[in-house]
C-alpha cells in the first residue's frame, strides 16, 4: 500500500530552519515547565509513599474523602478522580510510607464509609519506601543513559565502520560516570554531563550518524517528559518503559533513513549532500508514514479504551510516535549537513 507517490519530491531540507525553531520552542517550553515545577511529578514508584485506589457506589466529594482520611492520620493526602466521572473511582496519594498490614485496608474503608456515607471498595493499596523510590529513579536514569550509549556505539559501527572509536568513547563515558558517582554527584547532573561529553566526542571524532541519532533521541525524550510536566501527569515506572520504547521506535525510523542516505551517497556521489538527504527522506517517506499510522492506531486505541491504568503509558507512546517520526526527518538527518565531508 502506498500513501505517497513513488516520485514525490518534498523539500524537507529546505524547511530545516522552520523545523529548528519548532523544535527549540518545544524544548524551551518543556524545560521551562520542568524548571517551574521542580522536575516531573513523580508517582509513588519514584517519590515513595502510599497509593490507595477506592471505588464508591455513587458520587462523593473529594472533601468528604479527605475528611475521612484525616481521622486515621492521613491529613497530608492528595485525592484525585480516576477514570471516567461515572466510575466514582479515586486515587489517594500520601507521602507517608504507611504500613499496609494489620487491618489498614479495613481502617481506610471504615473511615471513608463514615465520612461519605457510601459503600466503598478498596481496589488496591501500594506502598513504596523513600529509599526504594530514590533507587528506582537512579536506575531509570541509568537505563536511559546506557540505552543511548549503546545506540551510539551501534550507529557508529553500523554506518561509519568506526567500531574502535565508538568503543573507546563508550568505555570512556562509562568510566567517567563511575568516577563522578564516587564523589556523590547527583544522578541527573551526572547523566547530563555524560550526554554533553558524548555529543562533544561525537563532534570531534566525526561520528556524525551517531550524533544525529543521539540529538534526535534527546529531543524526543525531552519533549515527552516536558508534556508530562505540562499536563501534570505522573512519572512512573511504566512511563520509563514507554520512554525506552520511544527510543527504540525513533531509532528504528532514523536507521531506515540513514541506511538510504548511505546507499544514495554511494550512487549519487556527485550530487550535493542536501539533495541526497532530501531524496533519501522522500524515498523512505511512504514506509515512515505507514509505520507511524499503524502504530498510532494501536496506541490511540489503548489511550481511549485501555482504562486509567494504561492511560498515561498510551499518552507517552502517542507523543513519542509523533515526535519520533518528526525527529527522524527534521532532526537526525539534517545533523549530517553540519559536516562538509560526505561518507
- Residue 79 belongs to a domain: yes
Domain identity same for 296 and 176? yes
Whether the predicted pLDDT of 135 surpasses 80: no
Q: Which residue has the higher pLDDT, 72 or 265?
A: 265
How far from the centroid of its chain's Cα atoms is residue 125's Cα?
26
CATH of the domain at 278: 1.20.1640.10
pLDDT bracket for residue 60 (50, 70, 90)? confident
What is the count of structural domains for the chain?
2
Nearest-CA neighbor of 313 among 214, 224, 222, 209?
Answer: 224
Q: Give residue-wise pLDDT tens across range 205-214.
A: 778 888 888 8
Domain shared by 94 and 214, yes or no: no
User: Domain limits at 91?
Assistant: 49-128
Evaluate whether 145 touches 174 at the Cβ level (below 8 Å): no
What CATH number does residue 73 fall under?
3.30.70.3400
Query: pLDDT category, 34, cuts 50, 70, 90?
Result: confident
Cβ(128)–Cβ(48) under 8 Å?
A: yes
Whether 109 and 99 have beta carbons less than 8 Å apart is answered as no
- Cβ atoms of 336 and 273 closer than 8 Å: yes
Amino acid at each position: 500500500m502506498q500513501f505517497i507517490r513513488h516520485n514525490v519530491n518534498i523539500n524537507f531540507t529546505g524547511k530545516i530552519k522552520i523545523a529548528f525553531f519548532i523544535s527549540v520552542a518545544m524544548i524551551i517550553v518543556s524545560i521551562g515547565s520542568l524548571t517551574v515545577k521542580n522536575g516531573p511529578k513523580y508517582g509513588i514508584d519514584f517519590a515513595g509513599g502510599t497509593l490507595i485506589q477506592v471505588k464508591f457506589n455513587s458520587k462523593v466529594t473529594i472533601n468528604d474523602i479527605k475528611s475521612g482520611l484525616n481521622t486515621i492520620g492521613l491529613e497530608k493526602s492528595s485525592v484525585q478522580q480516576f477514570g471516567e466521572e461515572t466510575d466514582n473511582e479515586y486515587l489517594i496519594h500520601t507521602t507517608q510510607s504507611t504500613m499496609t498490614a494489620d487491618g489498614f485496608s479495613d481502617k481506610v474503608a471504615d473511615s471513608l464509609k463514615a465520612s461519605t456515607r457510601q459503600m466503598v471498595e478498596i481496589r488496591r493499596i501500594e506502598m513504596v519506601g523513600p529509599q526504594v523510590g530514590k533507587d528506582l529513579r537512579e536506575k531509570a536514569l541509568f537505563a536511559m543513559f546506557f540505552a543511548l550509549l549503546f545506540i551510539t556505539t551501534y550507529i557508529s559501527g553500523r554506518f561509519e565502520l568506526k567500531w574502535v572509536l565508538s568503543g573507546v568513547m563508550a568505555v570512556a563515558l562509562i568510566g567517567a560516570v563511575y568516577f563522578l558517582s564516587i564523589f556523590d554527584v547527583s544522578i541527573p547532573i551526572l547523566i547530563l554531563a555524560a550526554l554533553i561529553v558524548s555529543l562533544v566526542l561525537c563532534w570531534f571524532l566525526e561520528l556524525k550518524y551517531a550524533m544525529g541519532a543521539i540529538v534526535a533521541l534527546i529531543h524526543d525524550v525531552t519533549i515527552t517528559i516536558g508534556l508530562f510536566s505540562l499536563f501534570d501527569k505522573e512519572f512512573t515506572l511504566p512511563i520509563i518503559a514507554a520512554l525506552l520504547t520511544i527510543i527504540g521506535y525513533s531509532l528504528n525510523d532514523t536507521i531506515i533513513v540513514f541506511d538510504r542516505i548511505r546507499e544514495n551517497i554511494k550512487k549519487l556521489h556527485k550530487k550535493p549532500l542536501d539533495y541526497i538527504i532530501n531524496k533519501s527522506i522522500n524515498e523512505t517517506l511512504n514506509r515512515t508514514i505507514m509505520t507511524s499510522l499503524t502504530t498510532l492506531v494501536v496506541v490511540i486505541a489503548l489511550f481511549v479504551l485501555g482504562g486509567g491504568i494504561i492511560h498515561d503509558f498510551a499518552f507517552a507512546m502517542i507523543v513519542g510516535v509523533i515526535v519520533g517520526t518528526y525527529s527522524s526527518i527534521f532532526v537526525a538527518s539534517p545533523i549530517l549537513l553540519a559536516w562538509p565531508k560526505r561518507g
